[in-house]
Structure 1
Amino acid sequence: MSYFTIAGVQLHALHHGDNTDAMRHRINLLMARFPNVQMVLFSELVANGAATHHAEPMPSNMEAMFCQLAEEHRIWLIPGSMFERDGDKIYNTLSVINPQGQVAARYRKMFPFRPFEEGVEGGSEFVVFDVPHVGRFGVSICYDMWFPETTRTLAAMGAEVILHPTMTDTIDRDIELSIARTNAAINQCYFFDINGAGAMGNGRSIVVGPAGDVIHQAGIGEEIIPLEIDLNRVRREREVGLRGLGQPLKSFRDRSVDFGVYRSENSPTPFLDTLGPLVKPHRPDNGHHDI
């Protein structure tokens, strides 16, 4: 089977507080109206808000509630991400829940939005998972996609679909739309970039095909995005090229160049060390002082 139906949910949610009742209600309505949906994907940090003091060890009661919902509706469920407490560290963690209500995988966001996402550690392990008889899926979170190495690694691990919850409420959303299209095209995969609405994001979730084509772009309000995708399209375009043209994954595999910028020692790019510390921008001192 190469056809698979995924519903992205762009939810209007509270920035600080428990949004799980709204998520449960939305899933129940979604599955009643679109019973063909096989996977549901929410946006980043939508379940419990964007405050790190809500962080809990995993497995948690909140995660268990989502497991029950997945089993009840027999769906794959990615309920966005939640802050996870592990000892004295906090991670931005996504749970992949299968239709049996089991946590199939957890992924920790690799690139917290520093310097603004303070007090959050970056993860170090890539996550892909298989939907039996369908294909391989990869996950990333928000700022991760600004680093092409993340999506490229998932594609190199065999991911045919990238599931990417985000929480973007800033003026760079239009740039992210371009990045989503680029990541899909250069890795020849589907890319589901699902944002929040209201206080949890400025919307404009986007679903992109393996040729970089926009399958759907949401508005700024609440929206449910159920879409059937065809994994054979990914396989065909990886075989013969994007629109019968470029085959970037094969070219990357067969490259002769060694990217020295990725060496952790003896890097030939000392320029990066001249960029200064990773801190928030501050107001310049214009020479005027209060009396």
Structure 2
Amino acid sequence: MKPFAIAGVQMKVSAIHSNVEMMKLKLDITMNLYPWVEMVVFSELCGYGPLLHTAQEVPGEFEKEMQHMAKKYGIWLLPGSIFEKRDGLIYNTATVINPQGEVVKRYSKMFPFYPYEVGVTPGEEFCVFDVPNVGRFGVSICYDMWFPETIRTLAVMGAEVILHPTLTGTIDREIELSIARAMASVNQCFLFDVNGLDTGGSGCSIVCGPDGRVLYQAGSTEEIIPIELDIERVKRSRELGILRLGQPLKSFRDHIGNFGIYKPGVPLPYLDSLGPLIKPTKLEKLTELRKKESEISQNEPTLGYKGLK
């Protein structure tokens, strides 16, 4: 057994004022109640809430405060994410801090929740990092999980535990819980999904094992979720199969050459036929937009929906 203890903090998130002091208080409480915890994970946009005007440069004061807290308790810390100003753009960025208070990785969300998360630029790099003598961890944020290729890529890069801060307060949270289980099972990894409350989400954080079974699911109140994971379960699952049955990661490896449709430059006519990425609207407006799209397509056959403004 290779144990490693992670605590998720499911807390109320305000969009009116900073939540940083409350995060620090929650860390104090967590480490006093559970001094055996070795890593703490907060929810997406926990520090300042979900409004773009809170965006700031990274590194900055938020990272500095979180680095101090990680060093204070000698823990790994993933303090959710914040909106980051970078080169005139805004990203949704999470920071990984080690027990010495050093920033070891930053990850920007690859799939902002378009068309709702308007104004946020997608990140381009996957994020994995090693905890010495424990295992390899990957970072994914919220809507990323809806795209199986993201978690699969982290698994192919060797990630055994996926840390997944999220901010979901919408009616599809139940669907997300099923996706979390599916991603854990098909990639044979632990998945630690931490949601916020109030403007930070509707709670129901979930921790899944490499067989997709639920280790813990929170309710919709503030909770500290300390879970000791046996990382060796991942290696055993990947070598011997889920419940000694399916071996999806090895099967994917052996048939990986069959997915040429994803290669850059390969036309995707069906996906292009689905139309532009827009918010749902009333039927008459949608019909008008479809008509406009058809006219553009006739004039510029190679442009498709990507040319719509």
Q: CA separation in 2, counterparts of 1:266 and 1:238?
A: 32
% same residue? 56
Is 1:204 aligned to residue 204 of structure 2? yes
Contact 1:89–1:121 (8 Å) recurs in 2: yes
Alignment of 1:15-30 (within 5 A): 15-30=15-30
Contact 1:145–1:179 (8 Å) recurs in 2: yes
Greater fraction helix: 2
Report what 1:289 is aligned to: none
Contact 2:161–2:191 (8 Å) recurs in 1: yes
Structure 1: any 5+ residue segments left out of the alignment? 287-291
Is 1:274 aligned to residue 266 of structure 2? no
What TM-score does the superposition give when structure 2 sets the normalisation length? 0.90
Contact 1:16–1:50 (8 Å) recurs in 2: no
Contact 1:16–1:51 (8 Å) recurs in 2: no
Q: Evaluate the alpha carbon distance shift between residue 82 and residue 256 of structure 1 in structure 2; reply closer, same or farther with a 3 A threshold.
A: closer
Aligned-partner residue type, residue 20 of structure 2: T
Q: CA separation in 2, counterparts of 1:3 and 1:266?
A: 44
Cα offset for 1:257? 4.8
Q: CA separation in 1, counterparts of 2:4 and 2:17?
A: 33
Deviations 1:116-160 (A, max 9, x none): 001000001001000000000000000000000000000000000
Report what 2:78 is aligned to: 78
Q: CA separation in 1, counterparts of 2:110 and 2:239?
A: 30
Cα offset for 1:283? 2.4
Structure 2: any 5+ residue segments left out of the alignment? 286-309
Moved beyond 6 Å, runs of 4+:
none
Cα offset for 1:256? 6.1
What TM-score does the superposition give when structure 1 sets the normalisation length? 0.96
Q: CA separation in 1, counterparts of 2:202 and 2:266?
A: 42
Deviations 1:218-272 (A, max 9, x none): 00110110000001111111110000001101000011652133122133x3111
Alignment of 1:160-175 (within 5 A): 160-175=160-175
Cα offset for 1:87? 1.8
Q: CA separation in 2, counterparts of 1:244 and 1:266?
A: 37
Is 1:68 aligned to residue 68 of structure 2? yes
Aligned-partner residue type, residue 169 of structure 1: G
Q: CA separation in 2, counterparts of 1:241 and 1:228?
A: 22
Report what 1:219 is aligned to: 219
Contact 1:9–1:42 (8 Å) recurs in 2: yes
Q: Evaluate the alpha carbon distance shift between residue 106 and residue 256 of structure 1 in structure 2; reply closer, same or farther with a 3 A threshold.
A: closer
